[in-house]
């Protein structure tokens, strides 16, 4: 285990409207506002989205399983923002549901809002952390 300690810095309340891309908008805001460490919560709906719903097998690095949405789904999520190669990187896990169809996983790629997404971002100040790709693990974990 590794860890770092910080404090809550600025707090942002964000609204993303129909047709806007959730991940692009969050990365753009993080770049514009120089957010290098943060966590966030969100609620709302997406019209199109790609969700990683697990590894196909119990091996590392994993081969991912995907669910792709092209109809509106209600979502709640929690995620973080850290720098990777000098740019903000969003890591967001969501629960998405439509009727009896529900999935939980990591939202990646296209993420088009439906109606509205409301995001509450809490910046973490006084922490030196970033993402660094680890080929053996197949992803970029937080490094301190």
Kindly indicate whether the domain formed by 10-125 is annotated with CATH number 3.40.50.720.
no
Contact (Cβ atoms closer than 8 angstroms) between residue 35 and residue 123: yes
3-state secondary structure of 41: strand
Peptide bond before 136: cis, by omega within 30 degrees of 0?
no
What pLDDT digit, counting tens, does each position of 80-129 carry? 999 999 999 999 999 999 999 999 999 999 999 999 999 999 999 999 89
- So what's the pLDDT on residue 139? 87
Other beta carbons within 10 Å of 24: 14
Digit-coded pLDDT (tens) for 20-66: 999 999 999 999 999 999 999 999 999 999 999 999 999 999 999 99
């Amino acid at each position: 285990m590794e860890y770092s300690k910080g404090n809550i810095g600025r707090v942002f309340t964000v609204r993303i409207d129909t047709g806007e891309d959730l991940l692009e908008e969050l990365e753009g805001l993080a770049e514009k506002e120089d957010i290098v460490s943060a966590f966030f919560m969100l609620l709302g709906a997406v019209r199109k989205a790609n969700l990683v719903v697990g590894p196909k097998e119990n091996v590392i690095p994993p081969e991912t399983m995907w669910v792709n949405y092209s109809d509106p789904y209600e979502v709640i999520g929690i995620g973080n923002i850290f720098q990777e190669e000098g740019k903000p990187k969003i890591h967001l896990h969501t629960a998405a549901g439509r009727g009896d169809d529900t999935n939980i996983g990591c939202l990646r790629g296209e993420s088009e809002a439906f109606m509205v997404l409301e995001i509450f971002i809490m910046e973490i100040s006084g922490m030196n952390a970033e993402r660094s790709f680890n080929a053996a693990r197949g992803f970029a974990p937080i490094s301190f």
